[in-house]
A and B are shown apart, each in its own frame.
Chain A
Amino acid sequence: MPPATVMAQAADASGIYLVLALVLPVVGILLNFLAGGRYARVITLGLLAAGLGVAAGVVEGVWRTGAALTYLPGGWLPPLGVKLRADGLSAAMIAVTAIVIFAVGLYAPVEFRVPRGKPETRKSLSFWILLLAIWVAMNAVFLGNDLFNLYVALELVTFAAVPLVSLSGTAGTVRAALRYLLFVLIGSVLYLLGTALLYGQYGTLDIALLAERVRPGPGLWVAAALMTAGLAAKTALFPLHLWLPPAHSGAPPAASALLSALVVKGSFFLTVRIWFDVMPGLTGFAASQILGAMGGGAILFGGIVALRQARLKLLIAYSTLAQLGYLFLMFPLAAGALAAHSGVNLALSAGLYQAMTHAFAKAAMFMAAGLIAEAVGHDRIADLRGIGRALPVTALAFGIAALSLIGVPPTGGFFTKWMLLSAAAATGQWWWIVVVLAGGLLAGGYMFRFISPALAEAETPLVIQVPVARGRELVVLGLAIGALLLGVMPQKPLQLLQIGRAPNPVAVWP
């Protein structure tokens, strides 16, 4: 019989928001299939707006109770039943997802709107349905508390993301989507293999129960290695990043924003769950250094290759590759903290804060690049001189997002770098310090390659082929300001991140 402690967390009334987070999008998808046509956009936007309320409810519930929110559908207890659980990490990521997806929905360009009297297009209906699909999939990843449910959620994310890559239907994008799908399927199967091994040894896949039962041993380690490798493939961690540049640069800008900001964070989140909740401290120092080395390689490699790109969207895609490396630095930093018997919360918070900040900044950046490409008709950096004067609001949004990626105070990126450097200094792992600082310099370099000519004056002023709606520019600016706000007011988000974790609170700012 499952231990009674599973029921000990009082089922707070806010638990209903966890169910709504999963049910609302699915209802939306079904309604979109039924109504279709022009109504898809309205239905989706309405539900996304409601989704902001749901996310707020989850955050408020977690904040108020100071513990994780849980919900047991049907009242069944694990390991037979499915438990939905939202701790601080989940609540923060759910909020970020809701905001970013809503912004993408508002931003969606004219080609995804069906005017009155015209028949619906495959592209527009698919976009709105996939938007909701990504939303429900991400929520499932953040709320899942069972390794197999998380596998299903991860597959949902993939199935929703792959068609987004090939939305425009050209041969290149279809090829990129197929390559993406086939490669991450290897990752999925490796992950599944790992769960099979875990189940075989411990008889359960529920995270809380597993955490009680796991013991260090070869079986555990092989399972952990398989799952981590599979998830690394899904997150496009260097050197497993073959699918990321063509997929992210070939997709329409709204889709690229989602892919870079949210989709890759799902598998990262799962890696965090496994390393910190299922088998905390059992994976060892050397393995964490390997993950960190891959992350460091991503930062340096992605940064240098980004410097050489000629097209703006490819530059931003390689920038994503580099920024994902920062996420994986948290693993060796946490392992170092464990070895030094200090709390892991600083490293954990640093990694998640990077995930949140990067989501806002990268989404804003891709959407800004999309606006530029629409307005001017191309995205060759060499021919974008003077775009700052032509599209000032967009350029401002891009600039703020770039400052966050470089890590200039007072943006969220700066705060993340501060936390990473503090964690590295505290554990004496000075090599990660070098990596983080070099990454900042490289980010400055490749952002400079675009921003400097953009702010300069062109001899012949750029001609705007297609005027860009001011509302869409403001949405992009809003997301960029979100990244800024995470740096100016980091107190509350950091405290939220630590709810539901073992005590050892991070002094937010010493």
Chain B
Amino acid sequence: MNSVSFISSLPVVALAVPVAMVVACLFGPVRRRIPDWLGWAPVPALAAAILTAGYPPLVLEWAPYRLMIELDAPGAMLLGTAALLWIAAGVYAGGFLQGTPHREKFAVAWLLTLTGSLGIFLAADLSLFLLFYALVSLPAYGLIVHDGTATARRAGAIYLGFALLGEGLLLLAFVLLAAQPHGGTLRIVDVVTAMSVSPSRGVILALLIAGFGMKMALLPLHVWLPLAHAAAPMPASAVLSGAVVKVGLIGLIRFLPLGVALPDWGHALVGVGLTGAFFGVAVGITQANPKSVLAYSSVSQMGFLASLIGMGWSAGDGSVVQVAAFYAAHHVLVKGALFLAIGVADVVGQNRFSSAVLWPAALIALGLAGLPLTGGALAKLAAKGPLGYGMVGTLGAWSAAGTALLMLHFLRCLAAKANPEGKTAASVRLVLPWWGMVVAALTVPWALFPRVGLGTIAEAITPAALGKVLWPLVVGGLLALGLRRWGSRLPEIPNGDVAALGGGISRAAAGIGTELERADQWVRRWPVAGISLVVVAVALSAAMLATR
């Protein structure tokens, strides 16, 4: 009995541990040692993901809120892989931050973001979801600007602007969701069911897709992602791309009424998603910084996921959440591992670079494009179902080719950036998480595949199945050869593409600000204010007289 109740309370423990660590940072001695313990914080969450999926929800009555924590299968997949990534990145961060200044501030921001990232998969009611959304969005600013350079500050400011914008849109969506007549709880599944038949469904859906799409880096709200990833230190980029971006995905999974067939909305989502998928590839191949390449790859992959969800939504097929969550879980592992690879490449010497970094990275990176017998192949196979065999299916396969191209480009950039002399003692704390993530990326999908009802392993390794995922790789390889040959002819697109236009916008905004400040000084002159007072009195009486 006791063990059962302990297991069922694991989600709460998973959230309490990082919060306790933050509170402990109030004490100096603890604060100095915290960066070394970052890897331990997500362990209860991993246990919760493995053990408590499907358990009844935990309810806490905290008047007037009714807080609910619940873990369903897609949430468990995402939570588990995110926890794995946070553990690996946490261990990496401990080694990475050794001896650097301001590590304690980084650690506090890390732990706060971790709490939000874990909680967002567990939240089952509106208020908890909003709270964890704020926790995962805002402290991440501290991670991005850790280096303190001007580019980092600019990236952080743009990130924060988008985060606040998304939060505002979601707040409005949640207000509208809560305003519907419902059974008295704010449980997410209940409000979504009520929303699917409500007259204001269109407005709510638009707000939800805009808000979560921004978090998920869907076009055109993606500009913060490449900037943030390039500016943040390595472990932070890993978790940003791996776990924080998935907040948008879990939002779409939880809040869209996917069981109700809405072809208009679904096809719109597919359009946006596929555009992003190809856009990410197109811009990614012009980048030379491997972190930017990976960032644009995330944009592309998230677009692919969105189109996956959109196809399922058009058909009213609720089981697409399993596929999407599986695909996303694989992406968490691979993308996080590749970011760690960049860091490890910097540390490992030239002679060990190929064996220690390049080949494993190639293996999992091409897995993202569907290399046979990797977890990615399983993901691509599972994705074929919802995408269908029409135009969308073909485009999906072509996007896999694009991903292959992009990943080969990434490997080239990685090799180009590799440090000829490694550090004399490549720190275990940096290399071990990398290997751990490689192993996880290769094995975890195989373990999950039969568990989530996507088919059996036997089905997945038939030659026909392997062939389906092979031709995009071949095409991608050919394109990569072409890129090597003619790549220098590509235009130079700055990191953050559209954000470069922001300079003009901010100048215009500054001009407006100056004008308003002048207007303020004019309004504050005594005669003007006095006359305004009289005008207000007259206007009020006129208004009251008019509506007699």
On A, residues with C-beta under 8 Å from B are: 179, 183, 186-187, 190, 216, 218, 221-222, 224-226, 228-230, 232-233, 238-242, 245, 283-287, 289-291, 294, 301, 304-305, 307-308, 406-410, 417-418, 421-422, 425-426, 433, 437, 440-441, 444-445, 448, 452, 455-457, 489-491, 494, 508-510
What residues of chain B lie closer than 8 Å to A233, measured between beta carbons? 533
Are A241 and B524 in contact (CB-based, < 8 A)?
yes
15 A-B pairs besides A221-B544, A290-B539, A417-B171 with CB distance below 8 A are A186-B530, A186-B533, A216-B548, A224-B541, A224-B544, A228-B540, A283-B544, A287-B547, A305-B517, A308-B514, A406-B164, A409-B130, A425-B175, A426-B179, A456-B148
Given contacts A287-B544, A457-B102, contact A240 B533 (CB under 8 A): yes
* Complex: chain A residue closest to B138, CB-CB: A408
One digit per residue, 1 when the CB lies within 8 angstroms of any chain A CB and 0 when it does not, for chain B 524-539 equals 1110111011101111
What residues of chain B lie closer than 8 Å to A445, measured between beta carbons? 161
Are A490 and B548 in contact (CB-based, < 8 A)?
no
Chain B min CB distance to A232 (Å): 6
Question: What are 29 pairs between A and B in contact, CB < 8 Å?
Answer: A179-B526, A186-B533, A221-B541, A221-B545, A225-B544, A226-B541, A228-B540, A229-B537, A230-B537, A238-B523, A240-B533, A241-B523, A245-B524, A284-B543, A286-B546, A290-B539, A301-B516, A301-B519, A308-B514, A406-B164, A408-B138, A410-B131, A422-B175, A425-B175, A456-B145, A456-B153, A510-B182, A510-B184, A510-B186
What residues of chain A lie closer than 8 Å to B54, measured between beta carbons? none
* Complex: chain A residue closest to B515, CB-CB: A304
Q: Which of B142, B523, B525, B547 contacts A455 (CB 8 A)?
A: B142
Are A239 and B540 in contact (CB-based, < 8 A)?
no
Count, A-B residue pairs, CB within 8 A: 159
Are A441 and B172 in contact (CB-based, < 8 A)?
no
Please report which residues of chain B, range 496-538, place their CB below 8 angstroms from some CB of chain A when the two chains form the complex.
Answer: 512-514, 516-517, 519-520, 523-526, 528-530, 532-534, 536-538
* Complex: chain B residue closest to A221, CB-CB: B544
Q: Which label, helix, strand, loop or mixed, suits the secondary structure of the A interface?
A: helix
Per CB-CB distance, the 6 closest pairs between chain A and chain B, nearest first, are: A509-B64, A225-B541, A229-B537, A225-B540, A221-B544, A286-B543
Please report which residues of chain B, range 272-296, place their CB below 8 angstroms from some CB of chain A when the two chains form the complex.
Answer: none
CA A224 to CA B543, docked complex, whole Å: 11
Please report which residues of chain B, range 154-189, place their CB below 8 angstroms from some CB of chain A when the two chains form the complex.
Answer: 156-157, 160-161, 164-165, 167-169, 171-172, 175-176, 178-179, 182, 184, 186
Q: Looking at A186, A224, A287, A510, which has the most chain B CB atoms within 10 Å of its CB?
A: A510
Are A440 and B164 in contact (CB-based, < 8 A)?
yes
Q: Looking at B156, B161, B172, B530, which has the most chain A CB atoms within 10 Å of its CB?
A: B172
Are B544 and A308 in contact (CB-based, < 8 A)?
no
CA A286 to CA B178, docked complex, whole Å: 29
* Complex: chain B residue closest to A418, CB-CB: B175
Q: Within 8 Å of chain A (Cβ to Cβ): is B55? A: no
CA A452 to CA B184, docked complex, whole Å: 41
CA A422 to CA B126, docked complex, whole Å: 14
On B, residues with C-beta under 8 Å from A are: 63-65, 101-102, 105, 127, 130-131, 134, 138, 142, 145, 148, 153, 156-157, 160-161, 164-165, 167-169, 171-172, 175-176, 178-179, 182, 184, 186, 512-514, 516-517, 519-520, 523-526, 528-530, 532-534, 536-541, 543-548
What residues of chain B lie closer than 8 Å to A490, measured between beta carbons? 64
What residues of chain A lie closer than 8 Å to B175, measured between beta carbons? 418, 421-422, 425
* Complex: chain B residue closest to A411, CB-CB: B134
Are B544 and A491 in contact (CB-based, < 8 A)?
no
What residues of chain A lie closer than 8 Å to B537, measured between beta carbons? 190, 225-226, 228-230
* Complex: chain A residue closest to B145, CB-CB: A456
CA A290 to CA B543, docked complex, whole Å: 8
Chain B min CB distance to A418 (Å): 6
* Complex: chain B residue closest to A282, CB-CB: B544
CA A106 to CA B516, docked complex, whole Å: 39
* Complex: chain A residue closest to B101, CB-CB: A457
CA A218 to CA B532, docked complex, whole Å: 22
What residues of chain A lie closer than 8 Å to B548, measured between beta carbons? 216, 284
CA A287 to CA B544, docked complex, whole Å: 6
Chain B min CB distance to A407 (Å): 8
What residues of chain B lie closer than 8 Å to A422, measured between beta carbons? 175, 178-179
* Complex: chain B residue closest to A302, CB-CB: B520
CA A210 to CA B311, docked complex, whole Å: 64
Are B544 and A418 in contact (CB-based, < 8 A)?
no
CA A24 to CA B86, docked complex, whole Å: 58
What residues of chain A lie closer than 8 Å to B528, measured between beta carbons? 239
Q: Which of A228, A232, A437, A448 contacts B160 (CB 8 A)?
A: A448
Given contacts A284-B547, A425-B179, contact A242 B524 (CB under 8 A): yes
Are B164 and A294 in contact (CB-based, < 8 A)?
no
Given contacts A286-B546, A418-B175, A426-B179, contact A305 B540 (CB under 8 A): no
* Complex: chain A residue closest to B184, CB-CB: A510
CA A470 to CA B455, docked complex, whole Å: 63
Chain B min CB distance to A218 (Å): 6
What residues of chain B lie closer than 8 Å to A228, measured between beta carbons? 537, 540
Are B512 and A229 in contact (CB-based, < 8 A)?
no
* Complex: chain B residue closest to A194, CB-CB: B537
Chain A min CB distance to B276 (Å): 25
Chain A min CB distance to B200 (Å): 9
Are A437 and B526 in contact (CB-based, < 8 A)?
no
What residues of chain A lie closer than 8 Å to B529, measured between beta carbons? 183, 239-240, 242
Chain B min CB distance to A191 (Å): 11
Q: Which of B127, B514, B525, B543 contacts A509 (CB 8 A)?
A: B127
Q: Which of A179, A232, A304 contacts B536 (CB 8 A)?
A: A232
CA A448 to CA B130, docked complex, whole Å: 21
Are A286 and B547 in contact (CB-based, < 8 A)?
yes
* Complex: chain B residue closest to A187, CB-CB: B533
Given contacts A183-B529, A408-B134, contact A509 B544 (CB under 8 A): no
Are A290 and B540 in contact (CB-based, < 8 A)?
yes
CA A102 to CA B68, docked complex, whole Å: 38
What residues of chain A lie closer than 8 Å to B131, measured between beta carbons? 409-410
Are A284 and B544 in contact (CB-based, < 8 A)?
yes
What residues of chain A lie closer than 8 Å to B523, measured between beta carbons? 238-239, 241-242
What residues of chain B lie closer than 8 Å to A289, measured between beta carbons? 543
CA A239 to CA B527, docked complex, whole Å: 12
What residues of chain A lie closer than 8 Å to B533, measured between beta carbons? 186-187, 190, 229, 232-233, 240
CA A294 to CA B134, docked complex, whole Å: 31
Are B536 and A286 in contact (CB-based, < 8 A)?
no
* Complex: chain B residue closest to A283, CB-CB: B544
* Complex: chain A residue closest to B539, CB-CB: A290
Are B543 and A441 in contact (CB-based, < 8 A)?
no
What residues of chain A lie closer than 8 Å to B169, measured between beta carbons? 437
CA A406 to CA B134, docked complex, whole Å: 12
What residues of chain B lie closer than 8 Å to A290, measured between beta carbons? 536, 539-540, 543
Chain B min CB distance to A246 (Å): 9
Q: Which of A240, A425, A508 contacts B532 (CB 8 A)?
A: A240
Chain A min CB distance to B429 (Å): 25
CA A461 to CA B513, docked complex, whole Å: 32
Chain B min CB distance to A353 (Å): 13
Chain B min CB distance to A406 (Å): 8
Chain B min CB distance to A408 (Å): 5
* Complex: chain B residue closest to A444, CB-CB: B164
Q: Looking at A222, A229, A305, A418, which has the most chain B CB atoms within 10 Å of its CB?
A: A229
CA A249 to CA B342, docked complex, whole Å: 50
Are B536 and A294 in contact (CB-based, < 8 A)?
yes
Are B520 and A444 in contact (CB-based, < 8 A)?
no
